[in-house]
Amino acid sequence: MGTLTAPPTPGFLSLVRHGQMGGVLLLGRWPSPAVVRQTTAALQQAACVRGEPLLIAADQEGGIVKRFPFAPPDLAPAALGTTTEAQAQASATAAALRDLGVDVDFAPVVDTPTSAKSFLGSRAFSHSAATNAALGPAFVAGLQSGGVAATAKHFPGLGQAGANTDLSSVIVRAAAWKLKEGLVPFRRAIQSGVQLVMVSSAVYPALDPSGLPAVFSPALETDLLRTQLGFTGVAVTDALTAPAAARVPHAATKAIAAGADLLVFGAERASEDAFATLRADAPKYPHLRARLTESAARIRALKAWLSAAGGPACP
């Protein structure tokens, strides 16, 4: 998944036309609906040269994380007190995103903070796992009933993280029983049919003693997320340019091998390097080739779901 903070350059569109991206993430803060619409139209036109639309995503959580300040949600997640309110805000968000040409929202945050000092702040619905297990699926329902794919994040939970994984390497040292309490909102979101789950780059020794960040952990991405929680949709990584992931050689290969389907990089050069790494490594490893085939099928199933809901499709 490539990233943009402004309209695409000719070089970026060339990468899309040549099939080096399955999607694009819009980062930063975009100034107007017109600029976003022009950008998404140009991206999809380039993608359709190959006959397959892109996934176009944004972090439109509400509150302090809104790529489109002119669009809903009008309230921060922490200000949503009822399931009715959460679903209504998400429904309005879906309508706005569809109008902009964005079909995936990297929201809601279903982490459960255990401290008032959590870096998540108002991005989380509450400090109660039970409340998050109700409000998260309501937000998912509002988005997905409007034809926008929702994303439960950041699996298996950043509620007990001592720092932001985008800025530093993080080890979540909580006991297994405490971490499993934080899985309840993820389980409920999965049961509600959420289309994507975003996997964090933190390390969880109590759940996987290997010391691997979650994005590289088969124990978390395959055994826990897929087998135990029954998730069958698209597993997307948190940014692989984050400190804990960026220092790992062949990060793209290791993330796919662990169970990820869609890889996010916060810098374009890193995205291009990851594509080259996968192309070089795939002939060497049968397991990687099998995982790439599996991931491509999940991503195409997501695109088909979006198209059936009136989303992007190529002529």
pLDDT > 90? residue 182: yes
Let me know if residue 70 belongs to a domain: yes
Q: Structure tokens of 136?
A: 């998260």
Question: What is the mean pLDDT of the segment spanning 34-43?
Answer: 98
Burial of 69 (0-12, 13-18, 19+ CB in 10 A): exposed
Structural domain contains residue 46: no
Beta strands in 202-272 (DSSP E): 234-237
Domain that holds residue 267: 54-308
Question: For the chain, where are the E strands, in sequence order?
Answer: 2-4, 23-26, 55-58, 60-62, 65-66, 104-105, 151-155, 196-199, 234-237
Whether the per-residue pLDDT at 267 is higher than 90: the answer is no
| 69 located within any domain | yes
Contact of 243 with 169, CB cutoff 8 Å = yes
Q: Which residue has the higher pLDDT, 109 or 20?
A: 109
Residue 5 lies in a domain: no
What's the whole-number mean pLDDT along residues 68-91?
Answer: 97
- Assess if residue 48 is contained within a domain: no
pLDDT given for residue 269 in this prediction: 84
- Does residue 194 belong to any structural domain of this protein? yes
pLDDT computed for residue 167 by the predictor: 87
For residue 235, pLDDT over 90 is answered with yes
Per-residue pLDDT at 137: 98
> For residue 147, what pLDDT is reported?
98
- Report yes or no: 248 and 277 within 8 Å, Cβ to Cβ: no
Provide the residue type at 221 as one letter.
E
Answer yes or no: is pLDDT of 104 > 90.
yes
Query: In the prediction, which pLDDT does 266 show?
Result: 84
Please state the rounded mean pLDDT for residues 195-206: 97
Give the model's pLDDT for residue 158.
97
pLDDT at 271: 86
Q: For residue 162, what is the domain's CATH number?
A: 3.20.20.300
The per-residue pLDDT for range 117-134, each reduced to its tens digit, is 899 999 999 999 999 999
Report the alpha-carbon distance of residue 57 to residue 128 in Å, rounded: 28
Report the pLDDT value the prediction gives residue 306, as an integer from 0 to 100.
98
Give pLDDT, residue 268: 79
Is 266 contained in some domain?
Answer: yes
- Determine, yes or no, domain membership for 110: yes
The number of distinct structural domains making up the chain is: 1
